[in-house]
Structure 1
Amino acid sequence: MPVVFQSKVTPLIFSSNKAAVTLEGGNEEVVKYLYVYEFGEGHMGYVSRPFIDKIAITLAITDSCQQETIRDCLMDTANEHIEGIENASTHSGYKLEINFTPANSKDSVLIQVDPKKGKHGNHFIRLEMNPNKLGSTGLESFKAAIQHITAGALEWPMFVSSGNASRLEVAVDMYNVPTDELIWDSVVTGKSHIYLSKTGSVETVYAGLPKPTKASEQYYYNKWVESQEKGTKPNFGGVHTRVEMIKKGSTQKLNKICKIDNLMSRLLIVHPSGPPDSIDPLTWELFLDSCRLRGIPNALERLPASVAGHCKDTLNARAKLTWRPDKIWMHWPNAVKQSGLLKNGPPSLNPQHIV
């Protein structure tokens, strides 16, 4: 059975799509949103614009002298115990890994150099970062510093013009939306994994796994619960669902990511309302639980045809309100622009201003 949402929302709509949301306990928190929909008895769900939650960028370096310079400089930098720079160990396929944390940011950039396998020069250096957490000043600081910590062998414009986005994670937040109340369907075929809490509430849905041993590239989860379990401060203090899509591939140019196909269309997400007139509330709740377990099409197949049609029409009406992938993806080019990744960066800083 779905959870009962406890905190009622009093939306105060401002210009530029902001709302003051009343949390449980009476506190208010302002959220930015792209569109809003109503559910339950006077509750409002706020859906954000898309943003880059994580990106990995690889750069081909085929000149052996340049490779040696980069490798030696980064190794020396990591061993000099400079504040903000430290050795990392992610057990990945690179021989050298360091974390670079700008002084004005709480997040870091993972720098990986010298792959252990494959064509050595094609992805000689790999960067992994969350530009949203780094912030604009943190990202600009890293851009300015990369030239100094590699003795001029690397500059940020090289990544902009020639780098590949080997992994891209795009997220959308659904503020004030209980994860356990949502139902779903995956456009991508494959197996699905559903994680439940100790009380049986849905906390995470991984949909369309390509293989049993491969991770899903489309999923949604209870962001508030994740923050509590990790001991991190959530970016929203109330009920909060996050939807994430992953795109992998070593040939996607960084400067072309604004043109990728709509990732948000991989999932259909529905926040259901009350039952059709022909179905009693208990049967409706059992059907919705079947949707959460099996996905919408498989749950509909288990119903008599006369009932399935009414259920499908009701869900289709709610789907148009809940999850609007085309509307969301219209804002993707601007999300790329606002990330700051495609800016060439500020003038180089002096070495003492690296961190």
Structure 2
Amino acid sequence: MAIILKKKKVGGSNKNQTLPKNDLVKGHNETSEQSCVAPFIDKLSVVIEPPAHMVHDVYEVLLETFFDPSSAYKEAGIGAKKGYRAARRIALDSLENAKKWPLIQANYDKKHKSVERIRLEFVPVDLKHQGLAELNHALLEILEGGWAAVVQHGRVTRIDIAVDLQDVLMDSFLTLPPQAISRTQWASNGQLQTIALGKSKGNQTLVYDRGAKRNAMGQAWKGISGVRVERRLVGQSFPLLTLSELANPFSSLKLVENLPPPPDGETQAKAPWQWLMFCDSVQVRGLSNALSLLPKDRRQRYKKHLAAHGKLWWQPDQIWSHWPTVAKELLAA
């Protein structure tokens, strides 16, 4: 791996030409069977480890830029280092909220004057094309090639991928995970707001009401109502260049009707109360926990029945068909 340092630092301004607008997130109409939305990246963390013969040069130019008040690299605040020696926020003109500026961290050795590791974290969907252009310009102050150098040599350590489903209500469907996993849910005033599948320290799926989440954080919400399905992949280590090859993180998640009619065979002559009791259990315990209480054969039959009644607007394969374009546009920014 080779990282070529720029011989002369570029000036402090990080303005750039506005790139053509390209909306990666399409609208969704719950009544349309064929509507399909595109996924987007809600968070991306990339790590670069300079090769041994470059660590000194990287050290010289990076520290000069980090501590130059006229550069785009600003104080990141308490707690931003998170195990790194230095941390800065990269100021972007197109982002008024400084909390949304990309975070860059570095580990370096003063004694040997070397940089061992650089980490970049940002939210591509917030930056959009103009913000990515400004980020590239700022990175040119450190690396020749800017963002292209990060793409070529960086490794993804975390990526959050999301889908927004407009005009969908949290109580209008059930989440059917592929297997028994930890499930947590939050509600307010009797209205379901968030479902978390999996532990927060590992790979996790979040399904939540976008407006309710913002309101809970004390932020006014004027956006389009609907549900966000978000897959958080942590502990990753794959080349950023291979982003388009990422497997569909939504493929195993099923969003199903709440609740469908009983399965075949659960007739009046048999035991209709079993399905009714299961439905009541779902309302109290949630789908995953209610299923876990059933005998194995009934649990498998009910899961198969529920999966056959998926919501028509939730089509993971169609959604993921947009991913190569999303990845390509980010890598080429």
Indicate whether the TM-score tops 0.5: yes
2:26 alignment counterpart: 32
Query: Secondary structure at the residue paired with 1:337?
Result: helix
Counterpart of 2:74?
A: 85
Which residue of the partner structure matches residue 124 of structure 2? 131
**Structure 1 gap ranges (5+):** 1-17, 19-30, 346-355
Matches within 5 A, 1:197-216: 197=188, 199-209=189-199, 214-216=201-203
Residues 1-355 of structure 1 mapped to structure 2, 5 A cutoff:
32-33=26-27, 36-38=29-31, 48-62=37-51, 63-77=54-68, 80=69, 85-89=74-78, 90-106=80-96, 107-114=100-107, 124-148=117-141, 150=142, 152=143, 155-187=146-178, 190-197=181-188, 199-209=189-199, 214-232=201-219, 234=221, 236-238=223-225, 240-272=226-258, 275-276=261-262, 286-290=280-284, 292=286, 294-295=288-289, 297-298=291-292, 301=294, 305=298, 315-319=306-310, 321-338=312-329, 341-343=330-332
Q: Is the 8 A contact 2:194 2:207 kept in 1?
A: yes
On the 8 A contact 1:270/1:322 being kept in 2, the answer is: no
Matched AA of 1:333: P
Contact 1:186-1:268 at 8 Å conserved across structures: yes
SS at match of 2:309: helix
C-alpha contact 2:55 2:116 (8 A) present in aligned 1: no
Query: Matched residues in 2 for 1:219 and 1:60: separation?
Result: 31
- Over 3 Å counting, the alpha-carbon distance change for 1:87 and 1:274 in structure 2 is closer
Deviation at 1:181, TM superposition (A): 3.4
Q: Which runs of 5 or more residues in structure 2 are unaligned?
A: 1-22
Give the Å deviation of 1:223. Answer: 1.2
Q: Once the two structures are superposed, what CA deviation does each residue of 1:47-103 show, in whole Å capped at 9, x if it has no partner?
A: 6211111101111114331242244123323xx266773333325121111111211
The separation in 1 between residues aligned to 2:213 and 2:67, in whole angstroms, is: 37
What percentage of residue pairs aligned between the two structures are identical? 23
Superposed CA RMSD: 3.7
Q: What TM-score does the superposition give when structure 2 sets the normalisation length?
A: 0.73
Q: Per-residue displacement from partner, 1:106-159 (whole Å, max 9, x unpaired)?
A: 33111111179xxx98961111111111121111011012122x3x56722211
Please tell me the residue identity of whatever aligns with 1:253: P
Return closer, same or farther for 1:267/1:115 CA change in 2, 3 Å cut-off.
Answer: farther
Instruction: State the alpha-carbon separation in 2 of the partners of residues 292 and 33 from structure 1.
Output: 29
TM-score, normalised via structure 1 length: 0.69
Contact 1:183/1:291, CA 8 A, preserved across alignment: no
User: Which residue in the other structure is 2:11 paired with?
Assistant: none
Secondary structure of the residue aligned to 1:32 is: coil
Instruction: Mark the CA change 1:134 to 1:231 in structure 2 (over 3 Å): closer, same or farther.
Output: farther
Instruction: Find the aligned partners of 1:101 and 1:164 in 2 and give their Cα distance.
Output: 23
